[in-house]
Structure 1
Amino acid sequence: MTKPNSFLKNSFITLVRQFTSIVIGTLLIIIIARMLGPELQGEYALIINFPTILMMFINLGMNISTVYYVSRQEIDPGESFFNNLIIGVVLSLIGVIAGFIAIYFFGDLLFKDIDDHSYVYFILIAIPFMLLNTFFQTIFQGIQDFKVFNTILVVTQITNLLLVLVLIVLFDFGLMGALIAFISGHALTLLFILVFSVKRFNLTRENMRVNIPYLRKSFRYGFKSYMSNLVTFMNYRINIYLLGFFVGNTAVGLYFTALTLGEKLSVFTQSISSVLLPRIASMGTEEERNHLTSIVSRFTLVFMLVFAVVIFFIIDFLAPVLGNQYKETPFFLKILLPGISLLAVEKILSNDIAARGKPEINMYVSIFNVIFSTILNVILIPMYGATGAAVATSISYSLSFIIKAVLFKSVTGEAFTKFLLFKREDLALIKRLLLRQKFFKKLIRS
């Protein structure tokens, strides 16, 4: 087992690689948006979200339980790799079959404005690659090897971007080119993971066996997180399908572009959140856990609010890059910014609660959120279109943060001021870090 690095070092490594992911991902969004136009961009959004939703339904929380048990050293990473491979293949097959059935019987309802459903059948090829990538990537998160964990993210983005440049910009394959690039990006990432994992893990006959006790407890722990993540994801994405159903693909394209740009902004805090889950799970005392999460949530809240204000004022100047067809997209992003900022802190608190062995709390909150969000979207989208979807999303994200903050206080006993308000001691911490030149030299080398 790899000895865990410091929390700050891992967060920095993750931040640098995810910043690279932001840049590449933003370029990808801009190129696809400009080349396809709002209507085809809307079709692209609906199609690529379908395998993502299916993957959320079939993963059964194995990715979260992998992080939890590997970080607690209750299973060897090599043995976890083999078990995740077997389970991933089985679940992928179930996902592809379920996808075919859903398209065949409900395709006209789910994709009523997409004339050629062969695109939707085609995207099902991505499911095994996406699921196995997630299952394997979380092993590196569990052993707190964040160099590899985040390199995997960058590999996916780079391969996708290069293929988009070739297939859409150079050869003008349009929507099909974008879908091929999406699938190929995940496929090449899986190849990278497999090659690296064979070298990284000690894959012997002893650990290449199905560990029934591990799988049993993984499903028990993972199912609670699975339900939480499933309904949370539905809360994030259900308005895309509702928008397509009530308004049309062009509105989906405009809103989806704003939403994905907004999600790229929150990647900074995801870098810290990814490090927090295994770190909290491996800590011994409640006092250590409370102290760490309180500092992280305070810094995250201040950072995201400042960042959101900056984006609010500069997004109009960056809008022409997307093209004249996307004039409304900056307005939608401005509406989303408050919710996205608060959601970043909510994710920090959620990971802390899950790492304490109480993922069911997140599940209950997520169920409430998806019901509330769906009702709000059904009311606002027919009246206000994509603007209504953005308002509903921002409100539901903000409400989720408020509920999670109250529950975190209840679970930990920490006062709101302790984990939400920036303190004088935080400025002193920043000053000490800036003065530690050796610390930053080590981070840069990492």
Structure 2
Amino acid sequence: VNMFLGPAGAGIYTIAAQISERLWLLSQAVSTVLLPRLSQLSSDESKRKQLTPLLTRWVLWITCLGGIFLATVAYPLIVWVFGEEFSSAYWALVLLLPGMIAGSASRILANDIAARGRPELNMYTSFIVVVLNIVGNLLLIPLFGLLGAAIATSLAYFINFLMRLITHRYLTEVSILSNILIRRDDIMLIRSLMSSE
């Protein structure tokens, strides 16, 4: 962003990125607890296959609700905290939100993949995503400015999520939809998983 739009553009984009990244607080907290728990469950594959999709889909949808809330309050917040001259950060933030939401669920899947002794798969995915993000930025920033940077980053995070869904499906044979769609019996499943500790 700095290369194409200069320090002012980079500053505005940084504000959008920093605010949108607050959506990752939930997935970071869950990840801190999840990795050791999944490692403990290495001998109980059925519980592991229940726990990761359950947490992935709930983190995904709670973060989605947080993203909707953030989109409604961000504009006045940006103007109030940073001033009217930074208001263009709002639309960059809005375009970053889908990627941040996808990235939150992706982090949960990455923990499961790592706990299965395959952290290199996360590294390969991350490498591909970084390359895609750089290429996307080089192509889209000259065309769309800050919005192009936000689109490139959001697409990269979304592709990261898709790749992790596919990797998780390959390793566990758990359907992709199980990691996305909330089920009616989720509350019962949460209770049973907690009571069996």
TM-score, normalised relative to structure 2 = 0.90
Give 1:317's match in structure 2, choosing from 65, 73, 76. Answer: 76
| Structure 1 residues 47-87: Cα deviation after superposition (integer angstroms, max 9, x where no partner) | xxxxxxxxxxxxxxxxxxxxxxxxxxxxxxxxxxxxxxxxx
**1:254 alignment partner in structure 2:** 12
AA matched with 1:260: Q
Residue 295, structure 1, aligned to residue 54, structure 2: yes
Residue 364 (structure 1) shift: 1.4
Residue 377, structure 1, aligned to residue 137, structure 2: yes
SS where residue 248 of structure 1 aligns? helix
RMSD: 1.8
Number of residue pairs matched by the alignment: 191
| Structure 1 residues 122-142: Cα deviation after superposition (integer angstroms, max 9, x where no partner) | xxxxxxxxxxxxxxxxxxxxx
Residue 268, structure 1, aligned to residue 32, structure 2: no
AA matched with 2:164: K
SS where residue 316 of structure 1 aligns? helix
AA matched with 2:21: E
Residue 428 (structure 1) shift: 4.4
Residue 353 (structure 1) shift: 0.3
AA matched with 2:25: V
Residue 429 (structure 1) shift: 5.6
Give 2:44's match in structure 1, choosing from 252, 265, 285. Answer: 285
**1:350 alignment partner in structure 2:** 110
Residue 317 (structure 1) shift: 2.7
Residue 265 (structure 1) shift: 1.9
**Range with bigger deviation, 246-255 or 303-312:** 303-312
Residue 314 (structure 1) shift: 2.1
Q: Mark the structure with the bigger radius of gyration.
A: 1
**2:171 alignment partner in structure 1:** 411
SS where residue 414 of structure 1 aligns? coil
SS where residue 185 of structure 2 aligns? helix
**2:127 alignment partner in structure 1:** 367
AA matched with 1:259: A
Is there any run of 5+ residues in structure 1 with no aligned partner, and where? Answer: 1-242, 434-446
Residue 427 (structure 1) shift: 4.2
| Structure 1 residues 192-232: Cα deviation after superposition (integer angstroms, max 9, x where no partner) | xxxxxxxxxxxxxxxxxxxxxxxxxxxxxxxxxxxxxxxxx
**1:105 alignment partner in structure 2:** none
Give 2:63's match in structure 1, choosing from 300, 304, 307. Answer: 304
Residue 400, structure 1, aligned to residue 178, structure 2: no
Is there any run of 5+ residues in structure 2 with no aligned partner, and where? Answer: 193-197
| Structure 1 residues 385-429: Cα deviation after superposition (integer angstroms, max 9, x where no partner) | 211111100111111101110110110110123222100012446
> In structure 2, what is the Cα distance between the partners aligned to 1:317 and 1:247?
24
TM-score, normalised relative to structure 1 = 0.41
> In structure 2, what is the Cα distance between the partners aligned to 1:294 and 1:307?
20
> In structure 2, what is the Cα distance between the partners aligned to 1:344 and 1:367?
18
> In structure 1, what is the Cα distance between the partners aligned to 2:178 and 2:5?
44
| Structure 1 residues 89-132: Cα deviation after superposition (integer angstroms, max 9, x where no partner) | xxxxxxxxxxxxxxxxxxxxxxxxxxxxxxxxxxxxxxxxxxxx
**2:181 alignment partner in structure 1:** 421
> In structure 1, what is the Cα distance between the partners aligned to 2:79 and 2:189?
40
> In structure 2, what is the Cα distance between the partners aligned to 1:262 and 1:411?
31
> In structure 1, what is the Cα distance between the partners aligned to 2:8 and 2:88?
11
> In structure 2, what is the Cα distance between the partners aligned to 1:253 and 1:416?
38
